[in-house]
């Protein structure tokens, strides 16, 4: 078999898939890449912490670890959301095992696989008057609905100085 024949026998690489975890905050749908989420847990008891950034909802004890909870709606400038019994916390992987951070969500959808080629770059699509538009990496569409994929680094870098040196979140 010649080199050319061997190359022809190699199947073309299939389109790369991206796993996304959609969640809803203040009526808007957002998503994180699945590798950015360590786990999903039901919302437990939140202990409020005085004199912190307005986006910090409080802290929560999760199996003996203290998790700092962020209200992503406040961070993104969306109207505050009432806490619901079925709310969940997305525990994030920000690249530092010592950094235990979670975000509150009103509702979580099932994990979606999308081709990376189908993702649309955010800057040209998002309305400039939305306060959170600079925190969006790209947009995916499911059943005609736009899902805004968050850029974790851009969203959390101003809030967590230790994130600056982390290379895992991109």
pLDDT higher than threshold 90 for residue 115: no
Helix, strand, coil content of the chain in percent (nearest 5): 20, 40, 45
Residue 151 contacts residue 35 (beta carbons within 8 Å): no
Which residue shows structure tokens 């989420």? 37
Q: What is the mean pLDDT of residues 38-65?
A: 91
Question: Domain spanning 19-159: which CATH class is it, in words?
Answer: mainly beta
**pLDDT score for 80:** 59
64-114, pLDDT tens digit by residue?
A: 999 999 988 888 888 755 556 568 999 998 877 888 899 999 889 889 888
**pLDDT score for 41:** 93
Q: Classify residue 76 as left (phi > 0), alpha (psi -120 to 50) or beta.
A: alpha
pLDDT higher than threshold 90 for residue 147: no
Binned at pLDDT 50, 70 and 90, residue 140 comes out as confident
pTM of the model: 0.76
Percent of the chain with pLDDT over 90: 26
C-alpha 59 chain-centroid distance: 19
Q: Which residues partner with 12 through β-bridges?
A: none
Mean pLDDT of the chain: 77
User: Given strand 65-70, what is the order of strands in its sheet?
Assistant: 37-42, 88-92, 101-105, 65-70, 56-62
For the ranges 28-32, 43-47, 85-89, the lowest mean pLDDT is seen at: 85-89
Question: Is pLDDT larger for residue 145 or for residue 130?
Answer: 145
**pLDDT score for 66:** 92
Binned at pLDDT 50, 70 and 90, residue 7 comes out as very low
pLDDT higher than threshold 90 for residue 60: yes
Question: Is pLDDT larger for residue 1 or for residue 68?
Answer: 68
Residues 6+ apart with CB under 8 A from 112: 19, 20, 21, 22, 31, 140, 142, 147
- Enumerate the domain spans of the chain: 19-159
Cα angle, residue 121 at apex, residues 157 and 131 outer, rounded to 5°: 50
DSSP 14-50: PPPEEEEEEEEETTEEEEEEGGGEEEEEE--PPBP-T
């Amino acid at each position: 078999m010649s080199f050319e024949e061997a190359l022809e026998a190699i199947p073309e690489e299939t389109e790369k898939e991206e796993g996304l975890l959609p969640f809803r905050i203040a009526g808007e749908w957002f998503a994180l890449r699945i590798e950015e989420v360590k786990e999903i847990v039901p919302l437990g008891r939140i202990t409020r912490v005085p004199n912190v950034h307005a986006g910090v909802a409080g802290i929560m004890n999760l199996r003996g670890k203290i998790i700092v909870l962020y209200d992503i709606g406040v961070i993104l400038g969306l109207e505050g959301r009432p806490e619901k019994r079925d709310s969940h916390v997305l525990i994030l992987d920000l690249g530092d095992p010592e950094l235990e951070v979670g975000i509150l969500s009103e509702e979580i959808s099932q994990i979606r696989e999308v081709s990376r080629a189908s993702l649309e770059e955010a800057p040209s699509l998002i309305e400039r008057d939305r306060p959170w538009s600079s925190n969006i990496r790209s947009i995916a569409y499911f059943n005609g609905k736009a899902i805004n994929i968050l850029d974790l680094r851009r969203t959390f870098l101003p809030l967590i100085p230790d994130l600056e040196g982390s290379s895992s979140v991109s």
